[in-house]
Amino acid sequence: MTNSIGSGSISSGMPMPPPPRSEQSLTEEQQSLISETLSEFDAENLSESDALSIIEAFSNAGIVPGSALEQAMADVGFDAKAVGELANVEHGGNQPPPPKQDTLDISSMVDYMSELLEATLAATGNAELSEADKKAVYAQMMEKFAIEEGDSIIDTTA
């Protein structure tokens, strides 16, 4: 008797079901943020602006739409789908809008840095920057673009 189960092929004629959607579970910190954020709003009297603020806060915290978010919102009296609809969130992918961009255009930073590097190398006559030159260029970049001590020049969270 031949056993075809171990042959590695399945020919039932039926297509394979799609893989299950990966569902994000919420951390305690995210659950707290959801509760704290929603406590600032009245579920019965939300404006479009309120809905956008909620979605932006969740997006900034890395919280994506899904059943875990829907349940956490329902636990405090909010309908996640209604909030999304009020904010006019597109359903293609169920992703919230990207956070507001308050960052500078990276090309302007690169252009300015190139100018600083060229000017510094020309002024010193050296082929490479000294540590002091590097620190001076960095300080000028931070000052020019109003970047606080400890902040990154490039926002890698977006």
Q: Give per-residue pLDDT as tens, 56-71.
A: 888 888 888 888 899 9
Residue 34 in this model has a pLDDT that exceeds 90: yes
On whether the pTM is more than 0.75, the answer is: no
Q: Is 8 inside any structural domain?
A: no
Indicate whether 69 and 111 sit together in one domain. no
89-128 b/e with 16+ CB inside 10 Å = b?
A: beeeeeebeeeeeeebeeeebeebbeebeeebeeeeeeee
Phi, psi dihedral angles at 37 (to 5 degrees):
-65, -50
Indicate whether 82 and 131 sit together in one domain. no
The arithmetic mean of pLDDT across residues 23-29, rounded, is 79
Q: Is 1 inside any structural domain?
A: no
Sorting pLDDT into bands at 50, 70 and 90, what band is 112? confident
Indicate whether 107 and 149 sit together in one domain. yes
If you ran DSSP here, which 8-state letter would residue 158 be given?
A: -
Residue 29 contacts by C-beta under 8 Å, 6 or more apart in sequence?
none
Where helices occur in the chain by DSSP H, the ranges are 28-38, 48-60, 67-75, 80-86, 106-124, 131-144
Q: Is 19 inside any structural domain?
A: no
Residue 109 in contact with residue 117, Cβ under 8 Å? no
Residue 83 in contact with residue 51, Cβ under 8 Å? yes
Indicate whether 73 and 113 sit together in one domain. no
Q: Which residue type sits at 34? A: I
Residue 92 in this model has a pLDDT that exceeds 70: no
Q: Is 6 inside any structural domain?
A: no
Q: Look at residues 78, 36, 82, 93 and name the one whose alpha carbon lies nearest to residue 61.
A: 36
Position 40 scores a pLDDT of 93
Residue 155 contacts by C-beta under 8 Å, 6 or more apart in sequence?
103
Q: Is 17 inside any structural domain?
A: no
Indicate whether 77 and 34 sit together in one domain. yes
Residue 80 in this model has a pLDDT that exceeds 60: yes
Q: How far, in Å, CA of 138 to CA of 152, rounded?
A: 11
Structural domains counted in the chain: 2
Indicate whether 79 and 35 sit together in one domain. yes
The arithmetic mean of pLDDT across residues 84-110, rounded, is 63
Q: Is 15 inside any structural domain?
A: no
Sorting pLDDT into bands at 50, 70 and 90, what band is 73? very high
Sorting pLDDT into bands at 50, 70 and 90, what band is 90? low
Q: Is 12 inside any structural domain?
A: no
Show the domain range for 122.
102-158
Indicate whether 32 and 67 sit together in one domain. yes
Q: Is 142 inside any structural domain?
A: yes
